[in-house]
C-alpha cells in the first residue's frame, strides 16, 4: 500500500518504511505555473533594465546620405523611425550653400555643405552638393573601396563636370565584399541580379545632357547599386559614358546591361579606367569614345576566336598577352577541342596538348575566369581558387548560377575555333 503525501509516497517494503519522491498531478501543474511565472518576471526585469538603445527598436536612418541639387531647389530630408520629429535638431555646415529648416533643405549657391540631424545622442549626416546649373555633364559613380572614386575624380579633372557618389542604404562591409566567399552579400547580389536600396538623391538630373556612369566590375558585370540607379532615373535623351575599374576583366561584360537599362539614351562604348591617367581620359573623350579592333578595356575581343562549353557558345574577353596570341595561332583556321575534367568543386581542367608561353602570377580566380596552368593546361572556373596562373580570359554574360550549371554537372569538352 502507498499513500501520497504532497509529492512523497510512503512505501512499505520488506517491513521498512521507504520514502519515494513522486509527482502528483496537482503538484506538477503548480510547479509548471511557478516556472512560467518566474520566467515572465525575469524577462520583464531584463527588458526594463536594458539600456534604451539596445531594446529592439527599428534603427533610425537619414533618408538621404548624399543629395545633389541645383541652385534654387528644395528637398525634404527625414529621419526615418525617429519617434518624435520635434526632437530632431537640424543644422548646416554652410547655410549660404544649403540651409535647412525642419529637414527641408534649400540649395542657395554653388558649393558643398553637410546637413546634420541631431537626435538624442546620435548625429546623422547628409552631404549636399549644389551646382550652379551651368554644367552640362554629370559624373555619377559607385565605389566600394575607392578605386572607382579616384577614376571619377580624374574625369572631373579632365572635363570639369559635376560629380555625385551613389551611396547604398546599407554600406558594404569587408565581409560583404569577400568575393572568395560564395555566400558574401556582393556575390549573392550579383548572382541574383539584386537591386539594393540607395540613399543618394539626385534632384537636378534634367540639367545634364551627358552622364558618366562609373562602377567597379563585380563578377564580370555592373554592381547592383548601378542597376538600382538606372531603374530609378531615366537616361532618355542623354549621352551616357560608362566607365569602370576592375581587377582585369574590363567593362565589356556590363555594356549590354547598361544599354538595356539606359533606355532611350545614346550609350557610348565604355572604358576601364583602372590604369588611366587624366591625359588618357582626355584622349578617350576626344576620340569620341569609339573603340577600334582592340577592345575598350585593354583586352582583345578576339572576335575571331570563339569558345564553346559542350554545345553552348560563350562570350569571352581574351587577355592581351603572349599566351592568348599563341593559343590563337594554335587554333589557326581550325578547331581545338580540349577534354576537361571537373576538379575540386570549383573548376574544370584539361590538357591543351602543347605548351603555351606562360607568365604565372599568384592569382585568386573568380567564376568565369579562364587561365593557363603549368603552361599546358586550360582551366575554367565556376568557383574560386588561389594559385599561380597566367590569365587567358574571362567568360562574360553568364552569371554564377548559369556557369555553375554548365561546369559542375560532369566533365565537359571545350571547343575553341
Ligand X SMILES: Cc1cc2nc3c(=O)[nH]c(=O)nc-3n(C[C@H](O)[C@H](O)[C@H](O)COP(=O)(O)O)c2cc1C
Q: How far apart are CA 258 and CA 270, in angstroms?
A: 10
Of the candidates 93, 116, 179, 257, which one interacts with ligand X according to CB under 6 A?
A: 179
Indicate whether 175 belongs to the interface with ligand X (CB under 6 A). Answer: no
Q: Which residues neighbour 332 within 8 Å (Cβ) at sequence distance 6 or greater?
A: none
Indicate whether 365 belongs to the interface with ligand X (CB under 6 A). Answer: no
Q: How far apart are CA 33 and CA 146, in angstroms?
A: 59
Buried b (16+ CB within 10 A) or exposed e, 113-144: bebbbebeeeebebbbbbbeeebebbbbbbbb
Indicate whether 155 belongs to the interface with ligand X (CB under 6 A). Answer: no
Give me the sign of the Cα torsion angle 304, 309, 312, 318.
negative
CA distances from 51 to 15, 45, 55, 74, 192 (A): 63, 12, 7, 38, 39
> CB under 6 A: which stretch of 32-40, 67-75, 138-146, 351-359 binds ligand X?
138-146
Q: How far apart are CA 366 and CA 186, in angstroms?
A: 13
Note whether 219 and 401 are within 8 A (CB).
Answer: no
Smaller CB distance to ligand X: residue 124 or 381?
381
Count CA atoms closer than 13 A to 274's CA, side-chain side: 15
**Least separation, in Å, of the C-beta of 176 and ligand X?**
8
Of the candidates 203, 219, 271, 400, which one interacts with ligand X according to CB under 6 A?
A: 219
Smaller CB distance to ligand X: residue 98 or 144?
144
Give the DSSP letter of residue 155: H
**Least separation, in Å, of the C-beta of 300 and ligand X?**
15
Indicate whether 70 belongs to the interface with ligand X (CB under 6 A). Answer: no
Smaller CB distance to ligand X: residue 219 or 227?
219
Of the candidates 75, 124, 212, 218, which one interacts with ligand X according to CB under 6 A?
A: 218
Note whether 212 and 267 are within 8 A (CB).
Answer: no
Indicate whether 247 belongs to the interface with ligand X (CB under 6 A). Answer: yes
**Least separation, in Å, of the C-beta of 393 and ligand X?**
11
Indicate whether 144 belongs to the interface with ligand X (CB under 6 A). Answer: yes
Give me the residue label for grid cell 584539361.
350
Number of residues near ligand X (by CB under 6 A): 23
Indicate whether 383 belongs to the interface with ligand X (CB under 6 A). Answer: no
Indicate whether 249 belongs to the interface with ligand X (CB under 6 A). Answer: yes
Give me the residue label for grid cell 552640362.
136
Of the candidates 69, 115, 166, 186, which one interacts with ligand X according to CB under 6 A?
A: 186
Indicate whether 245 belongs to the interface with ligand X (CB under 6 A). Answer: yes
Indicate whether 140 belongs to the interface with ligand X (CB under 6 A). Answer: no
Give me the residue label for grid cell 525642419.
102
Smaller CB distance to ligand X: residue 8 or 179?
179
> CB under 6 A: which stretch of 71-79, 214-222, 304-312, 320-328 binds ligand X?
214-222
**Least separation, in Å, of the C-beta of 53 and ligand X?**
32
Interface residues toward ligand X, by CB under 6 A? 143-149, 177, 179, 186-187, 216-220, 245-249, 274, 366
Amino acid at each position: 500500500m502507498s499513500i501520497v503525501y504532497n509529492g512523497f509516497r510512503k512505501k512499505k517494503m520488506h517491513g521498512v518504511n521507504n520514502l519515494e519522491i513522486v509527482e502528483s498531478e496537482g503538484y506538477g501543474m503548480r510547479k509548471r505555473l511557478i516556472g512560467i511565472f518566474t520566467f515572465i518576471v525575469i524577462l520583464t526585469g531584463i527588458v526594463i533594465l536594458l539600456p534604451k538603445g539596445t531594446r529592439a527598436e527599428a534603427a533610425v536612418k537619414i533618408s538621404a546620405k548624399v543629395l545633389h541639387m541645383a541652385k534654387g531647389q528644395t528637398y525634404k530630408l527625414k529621419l526615418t523611425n525617429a519617434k518624435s520629429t520635434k526632437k530632431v535638431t537640424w543644422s548646416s555646415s554652410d547655410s549660404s550653400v544649403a540651409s535647412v529648416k525642419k529637414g527641408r533643405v534649400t540649395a542657395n549657391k554653388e558649393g558643398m555643405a553637410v546637413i546634420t540631424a541631431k537626435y538624442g545622442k546620435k548625429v546623422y549626416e547628409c552631404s549636399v552638393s549644389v551646382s550652379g546649373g551651368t554644367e552640362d555633364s554629370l559624373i555619377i559613380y559607385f565605389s566600394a573601396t575607392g578605386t572607382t572614386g579616384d577614376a571619377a575624380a580624374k574625369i572631373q579633372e579632365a572635363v570639369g563636370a559635376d560629380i555625385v557618389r551613389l551611396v547604398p542604404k546599407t554600406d558594404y562591409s569587408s565581409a560583404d565584399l569577400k568575393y572568395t566567399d560564395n555566400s558574401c552579400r556582393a556575390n549573392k547580389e550579383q548572382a541574383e541580379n539584386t537591386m539594393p536600396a540607395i540613399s543618394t538623391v539626385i534632384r537636378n538630373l534634367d540639367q545634364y545632357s551627358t552622364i558618366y556612369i562609373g562602377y567597379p566590375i563585380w563578377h564580370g558585370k555592373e554592381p547592383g547599386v548601378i542597376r538600382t540607379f538606372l531603374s530609378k532615373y531615366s537616361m532618355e535623351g542623354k549621352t551616357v559614358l560608362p566607365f569602370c575599374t576592375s581587377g582585369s576583366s574590363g567593362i565589356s561584360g556590363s555594356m549590354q546591361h547598361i544599354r538595356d537599362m539606359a533606355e532611350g539614351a545614346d550609350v557610348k562604348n565604355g572604358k576601364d579606367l583602372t590604369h588611366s591617367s587624366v591625359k588618357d581620359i582626355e584622349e578617350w573623350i576626344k576620340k569620341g569614345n569609339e573603340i577600334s579592333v582592340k577592345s575598350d578595356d585593354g583586352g582583345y575581343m578576339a572576335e575571331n576566336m570563339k569558345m564553346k562549353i559542350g554545345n553552348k557558345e560563350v562570350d569571352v574577353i581574351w587577355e592581351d598577352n603572349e599566351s592568348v596570341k599563341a593559343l590563337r595561332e594554335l587554333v589557326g583556321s581550325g578547331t581545338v577541342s580540349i577534354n576537361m575534367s571537373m576538379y575540386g568543386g570549383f573548376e574544370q581542367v584539361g590538357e591543351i596538348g602543347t605548351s603555351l608561353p606562360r607568365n604565372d602570377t599568384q592569382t585568386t580566380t573568380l567564376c568565369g575566369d579562364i587561365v593557363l596552368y603549368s603552361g599546358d593546361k586550360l582551366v575554367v572556373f565556376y568557383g574560386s581558387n588561389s594559385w599561380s596562373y597566367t590569365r587567358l580570359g574571362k567568360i562574360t554574360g553568364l552569371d554564377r548560377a548559369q556557369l555553375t550549371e554548365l561546369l559542375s554537372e560532369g566533365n565537359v569538352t571545350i571547343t575553341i575555333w
